[in-house]
Structure 1
């Protein structure tokens, strides 16, 4: 996606949708850290349209991006299931651009708004809750690319802080004291990633 295409999406699709559905502004639009989403032109356009852009930190999608948390995983599973079903009913036929619409239709019908809402909740974005995040995903493991063995094991913020150590916590407190608006829900979250990843 290019910056121009994303800007066009905001002005011609997203903003008119908000107006058409009487959604009060300002609204928050969470975006990933891709360079096409962070341009001066887009920021100015969104300011005029009453859209507050919140860029999620790059390379943290497994914990902070709602769609990665609760939508894309289930979509991948549904896709595999629907392709297997398609191939069982159409022996020897391969999924192509000509026949994928029926598969996608089945998948879209399975995705419920509650899945998306739960992604925002699990990411700690809405309602804002820093303890909703599974901080174990931030820790390195011996088996790269694999999740911890216990499926539903969560770590509290307090436990995570004890693991990352007092030095990093001290850096975070210094950064937080220098922040312009420490009450902003995004400030604490942003400070955490500045310290950890920079």
Structure 2
């Protein structure tokens, strides 16, 4: 995991650039040893479309595909069917921690989040999200 924060709690250009540099490129390079281009699909948020981000992507053989606006319901399956269950699972895990007298802090945040993610990022949930948007199965 990689955790970063911004002053207002939202992603910004610097956070996205650091993620590209420290997380995305190293991870895809570990998994893809060949020199083929990598594809990164993003929304149109300015944190994904600024020059420094796109230039770094280009230099590292990453093609950035920006989705058209107002297409979440068709092109972003995780928004459609995965992040909702993740949010519910997170709330459940936080409630569980509080009910046994534990708080969620910087020391156990990853552990609590990992349980919520494990409960919600199931293969069947992800496949259903892709099916709901019509992206999968191909027909």
- Give the TM-score, by structure 2 length: 0.68
The structure with the larger Rg is 1
More helix, by proportion: 1
**Equivalent pair of 1:34/1:58 in contact (CA under 8 Å):** no
1:53 to 46, 49, 64: 64
Q: List alignment gaps of at least 5 residues for structure 1.
A: 130-198
Report how many aligned residue pairs link the two structures.
126
Point out 4+ residue stretches in structure 1 off by more than 3 angstroms: 115-129
Determine the structure 2 residue equivalent to 1:103: 112
- Give the TM-score, by structure 1 length: 0.51
Q: In structure 1, what is the Cα distance between the partners aligned to 2:27 and 2:70?
A: 29
Change in CA separation of 1:104 and 1:5 when aligned onto 2, cut-off 3 Å: closer
Q: In structure 1, what is the Cα distance between the partners aligned to 2:138 and 2:21?
A: 27
SS in 2 for 1:36: coil
Q: Which has the higher contact order (CA 8 A, sep 6+)?
A: 2
Determine the structure 1 residue equivalent to 2:94: 83
1:8 to 15, 18, 22: 18
SS in 1 for 2:32: coil
Tell whether 2:51 aligns with 1:22: no
